């Protein structure tokens, strides 16, 4: 998968997380699946923010790959993991958005 596609997937997932958090803050009903997805995306953001901070430091473009090799945890969000499970998740997300559009008509 292309990095721009993976980045776009992260943007979409973050948008869905923010929508779920807005619903929760307004007292609206949310499903267990929506809450679980929002939690997973929040974990992805918590994992990515430190990497972005390192990248923004002077010389961070050189430092980030070194830090990524040294630290024992993953620094990339889940959409950057290789494997078919992310492709399956994207297909499910596409089906869900098509269903929402069909219901809205």
- What is the C-alpha separation between 3 and 12, in angstroms, rounded? 14
Alpha helices in the chain (DSSP H): 3-25, 32-56, 60-70, 84-104
Q: What is the pLDDT of residue 85?
A: 47
Q: What is the pLDDT of residue 83?
A: 54
pLDDT digits 0-9 by tens, 67-99: 778 876 666 677 766 654 444 455 455 555 544
pLDDT value at 24 more than 50: yes
Residue 16's pLDDT band (boundaries 50, 70, 90)? very high
- What is the C-alpha separation between 28 and 21, in angstroms, rounded? 10
Residue 28's pLDDT band (boundaries 50, 70, 90)? very high
User: What predicted TM-score, i.e. pTM, was given to this entire model?
Assistant: 0.59
């Amino acid at each position: 998968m292309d990095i721009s596609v993976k980045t776009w997937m992260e943007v979409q997932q973050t948008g869905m997380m923010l929508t779920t958090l807005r619903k929760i803050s307004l007292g609206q009903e949310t499903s267990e699946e929506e809450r679980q997805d929002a939690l997973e995306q929040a974990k992805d953001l918590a994992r990515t923010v430190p990497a972005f901070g390192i990248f923004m430091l002077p010389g961070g473009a050189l430092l980030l790959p070194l830090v990524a090799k040294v630290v024992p945890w993953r620094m990339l969000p889940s959409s950057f993991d290789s494997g078919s499970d992310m492709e399956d998740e994207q297909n499910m997300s596409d089906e869900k958005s098509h269903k929402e559009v069909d219901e809205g008509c």
